[in-house]
């Protein structure tokens, strides 16, 4: 794929007419790719090459079902999956003798971008692991380097959200990732207190900083303080990088339903405030419940949207853990679409790709076409210039090629490809969309030799996903005889 996005359209066959329900042309389709314990990746412990091949296979399979966002776990519990000056590399990452050092995050970003997908760096925020785990990290563990930032609670170690210096430590990790990597997003997980019913050992910090607040309000303010700082720090360096988190799926108790496990009341996540006050670009709530514990809570999250993205996280793993059917997940996807959420996210990647209870087959029907990512217009609403001089030709090797030109710019841009049987094109119709997220002004297809003729169009999307007008089309006959 050197400098060329090679797209082999296998599912999109020009000779096949597919009847389907209308699908959105713009939608977040995300997966959480879990590296902790090697749950989704890496399974292999043989070599770096095997780990790379394994990740490439995963991304290829995700591309086939038109996933457009990979939330890659870059920081697990006190250890990381990238080259860090702050925390140790996970022991799961193979260190081959004599081989160049393997940086999983850099590799994941590059491979996602080759496939037109975004890669968001997923950060486990406060948990650090149990005694055995932190001991395995030795003096590289923050529990050894700066123990005043940490607390042990019920056999697990945590960074203390009540200590303002914890903010500085986490911000250093955020800044390291944003400045050193071409990430598309920073995504916080476990950005909360443990489920402790108020028992977390923070009496000392509360006496120092509580200032007359209730313990619950003080704890919520501690998390919110960090969220605000993190948002500002990211935007200071790269304003287009999306900042998001995965709070508990139920923001608050509704009509006395859901009591005992909510973001606001149980673990002190005031996530509605984060997005309303502009400290987040997106919320991916972990909505791993059914029926009355799911549908009303989608509606509730949308009340706090503030024009940002609400992306329900769907618990594909519950098909194994709790015996759900694939239809339970599909019903939730359909509901979220009907409510105009920004899209869906799935936990976990392996539960999709292993086709648990046929879920992958179901998604192929609902993700039949590619989908563009929605624009972050609150950050920028400037429309980029449209591409110029689009040409279409069939190369000597039989590959169909589109090339185009763009105005010179320092901006990060991507390209979208459309086609139509007429000179008129609607960019809001998914069936007209052939490819998204191209990084170079060229694309190759394999097309059938038939008597069909199409108009092809290109648009430019900037880093905020604002989309240009369509280019002047290029017309092309697919026949070997008629050109």
Q: Render pLDDT for 306-352 as a digit per residue (tens, 0 to 9).
A: 999 999 999 999 999 999 999 999 999 999 999 999 999 999 999 99
Confidence category of residue 479, pLDDT binned at 50, 70, 90 = low
- DSSP letter string, 312-331: PEE-TTHHHHS---HHHHHH
- Greatest CA separation for the chain: 83
Q: How far apart are CA 246 and CA 163, in angstroms?
A: 22
Contacts of 452 (CB under 8 A, 6+ apart): 14, 421, 477, 478, 479
**Per-residue tokens: 229:** 């700082």
**Per-residue tokens: 121:** 């760096």
**Per-residue tokens: 167:** 């903010």
Residue 416 has pLDDT above 50, yes or no: yes
Interval 448-474 mean pLDDT:
93
Residue 7 has pLDDT above 50, yes or no: no
Packing angle, helices 295-302 and 326-338, rounded to 10: 30
Strands 453-462 and 474-477: antiparallel
Q: What architecture (CATH level 2) is domain 1-23+375-483? A: Sandwich (2.60)
Residue 64, burial from CB neighbour count under 10 angstroms (0-12, 13-18, 19+):
middle
Closest Cα to residue 313, out of 272, 283, 350, 275? Answer: 283
Interval 125-152 mean pLDDT:
97
Are the C-beta atoms of 287 and 333 separated by less than 8 Å? no
Q: Render pLDDT for 237-249 as a digit per residue (tens, 0 to 9).
A: 999 999 999 999 9
Confidence category of residue 452, pLDDT binned at 50, 70, 90 = confident
Annotate 63-78 with three-state secondary structure.
HHCCCCEEEEEEECCC
Residue 10 has pLDDT above 60, yes or no: no
Residue 19 has pLDDT above 50, yes or no: no
pLDDT at 5: 38
Q: Render pLDDT for 79-113 as a digit per residue (tens, 0 to 9).
A: 999 999 999 999 999 988 777 789 999 999 999 99
Domain spans of the chain?
Answer: 1-23+375-483, 26-366
pLDDT at 1: 38
Identify the weakest region by mean pLDDT among 109-123, 188-202, 290-304.
188-202
- Give the H or E element holding residue 230: helix 215-237
Q: Report the predicted TM-score, pTM, of the whole model to 2 decimal places.
A: 0.94
**Per-residue tokens: 63:** 């591309």
Residue 196 has pLDDT above 70, yes or no: no
pLDDT at 197: 63
Cis peptide leading into 303, omega within 30 of 0? no
Q: How far is CA 68 from CA 22, 203, 260, 373, in A?
A: 19, 44, 34, 8
How far separated are the first and last CA of the chain, in Å rounded? 28
Confidence category of residue 3, pLDDT binned at 50, 70, 90 = very low
Residue 13 has pLDDT above 60, yes or no: no
Looking at domain 26-366, its CATH class is: alpha beta
Residue 2 has pLDDT above 50, yes or no: no
Residue 367, burial from CB neighbour count under 10 angstroms (0-12, 13-18, 19+):
buried
pLDDT at 21: 54
| % of the chain residues with pLDDT over 90 | 86
Per DSSP, helices labelled H in 115-147 are 131-136, 142-145
Identify the weakest region by mean pLDDT among 18-22, 88-92, 144-148.
18-22
471 DSSP 8-state letter: P
**Per-residue tokens: 279:** 């400290």
pLDDT at 98: 74
């Amino acid at each position: 794929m050197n400098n060329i996005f090679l797209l082999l359209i296998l599912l999109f066959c020009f000779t096949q007419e597919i009847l389907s329900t209308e699908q959105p042309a713009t939608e977040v389709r995300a997966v959480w790719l879990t590296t902790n314990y090697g749950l989704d990746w890496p399974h292999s412990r043989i070599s770096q090459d095997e780990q790379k091949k394994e990740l490439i296979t995963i991304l290829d399979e995700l591309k086939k079902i038109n996933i457009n966002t990979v939330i890659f776990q870059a920081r697990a519990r006190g250890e990381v999956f990238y080259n860090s000056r702050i925390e140790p590399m996970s022991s799961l990452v193979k260190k081959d003798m004599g081989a160049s050092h393997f940086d999983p995050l850099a590799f994941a970003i590059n491979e996602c971008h080759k496939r037109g997908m975004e890669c968001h760096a997923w950060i486990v925020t406060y948990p650090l692991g149990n005694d055995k785990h932190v001991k395995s990290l030795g003096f590289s563990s923050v529990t050894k380097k700066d123990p005043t930032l940490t607390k042990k609670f019920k056999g697990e170690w945590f960074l203390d959200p009540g200590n303002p210096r914890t903010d500085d430590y986490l911000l250093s990790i955020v800044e390291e990732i944003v400045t050193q990597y071409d990430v598309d997003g920073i995504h916080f997980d476990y950005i909360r207190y443990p489920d402790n019913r108020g028992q977390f050992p923070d009496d000392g910090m509360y006496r120092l900083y509580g200032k007359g607040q209730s313990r619950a309000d003080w704890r919520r303010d501690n998390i919110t303080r960090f969220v605000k700082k993190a948002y500002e720090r990211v935007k200071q360096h790269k304003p287009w990088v999306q900042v998001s988190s995965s709070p508990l799926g139920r923001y608050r108790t509704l009509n006395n339903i859901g009591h005992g496990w909510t973001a606001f009341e149980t673990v002190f996540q005031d996530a509605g405030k984060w997005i309303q006050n502009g400290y987040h670009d997106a919320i991916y709530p972990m909505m791993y419940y059914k029926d009355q514990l799911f549908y009303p809570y989608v509606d509730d999250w949308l009340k706090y949207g503030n024009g940002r993205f609400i992306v329900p996280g769907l618990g594909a793993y519950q098909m194994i853990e709790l015996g759900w059917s694939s239809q339970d997940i599909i019903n939730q996807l359909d509901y979220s679409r009907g409510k105009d959420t920004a899209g869906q996210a799935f936990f976990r990647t392996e539960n999709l790709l292993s086709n648990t209870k046929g879920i992958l087959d179901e998604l192929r029907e609902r993700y039949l076409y590619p989908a563009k990512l929605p624009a972050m217009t609150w950050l920028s609403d400037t429309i980029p210039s449209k591409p110029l001089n689009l040409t279409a030709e069939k190369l000597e090797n039989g590959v169909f090629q589109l090339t185009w030109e763009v105005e010179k710019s320092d901006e990060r841009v991507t390209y979208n490809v459309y086609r139509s049987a007429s000179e008129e094109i609607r960019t809001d119709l998914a069936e007209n969309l052939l490819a998204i997220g191209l990084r170079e002004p060229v694309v190759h297809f394999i097309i059938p030799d038939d008597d069909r003729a199409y108009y092809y169009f290109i648009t430019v999307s900037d880093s905020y996903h604002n989309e240009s007008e369509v280019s002047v089309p290029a017309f092309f006959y697919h026949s070997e005889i008629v050109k």
